[in-house]
Structures are given as structure tokens and as C-alpha cells.
Amino acid sequence: MGYRRFTDRDGCTWEIHDSYSDWEFRPVTGNPRPAVRANAPGYEQDPFELSSEELQRLLDRAPRPSAAPRKSPFKD
């Protein structure tokens, strides 16, 4: 099975792994950014059917992984 490759506006290349509820944008060699999960668009289930502009909007709206580690709410 092939995955859709997409180059964002910054020139970083991603490979899109799709599922029903969310899509994962995985960095391709040379892309220093971490993988990102985005909500799948409700109107399309195939990443090959979306334009680069639509994929860019999905990537822009996706929550970014936090760089700071979470602190425990428990004071041990």
C-alpha cells in the first residue's frame, strides 16, 4: 500500500498514513519535525483526493506535540 507524500509550504515532506478517524503526518528523511496527528476530514477518506492546500490546512490545524514534559499533578 502506498502513502500520500506531501510537501508543506516550508519545504518539509510528509508521508500521510490515514485511518478512519485521524491521519498521521509522518516526517520523511530530511524533515526534522516530529510526527503530527490530524483529524480526518469528514468529506474525504482518501488523502490522494485532497489538494496540497487542503492538506496544508489539516497540518496547520493539527495540535503540535508539546516540547515541555508534563508535570505530575501529584506532589510526591
Give the pLDDT confidence score for residue 63 in this predicted structure.
Answer: 84
pLDDT interval class at 20 (50, 70, 90): confident
Q: What is the mean pLDDT of residues 51-64?
A: 91
Average confidence (pLDDT) over 11-36: 91
Residue 69 lies in a domain: no
Assess if residue 75 is contained within a domain.
no
- Is residue 2, in this structure, part of any structural domain at all? no
Domain of residue 29: give its range.
12-61
**7 occurs within a structural domain:** no
Quote the pLDDT of residue 69.
62
Report the residue count for the chain.
76
Tell me how far apart the alpha carbons of residues 17 and 37 are, in angstroms, rounded to a whole number.
9
Confirm whether 72 is domain-assigned: no
Q: Are 4 and 40 in contact (CB under 8 A)?
A: no
Is 60 exceeded by the pLDDT of residue 57?
yes
Overall number of domains in the chain: 1
Q: Answer for the pair 31, 59: CB distance below 8 angstroms, yes or no.
A: no
Question: Is residue 1 one of the residues assigned to a domain?
Answer: no
Q: Show the cell assigned to 30.
A: 530530511
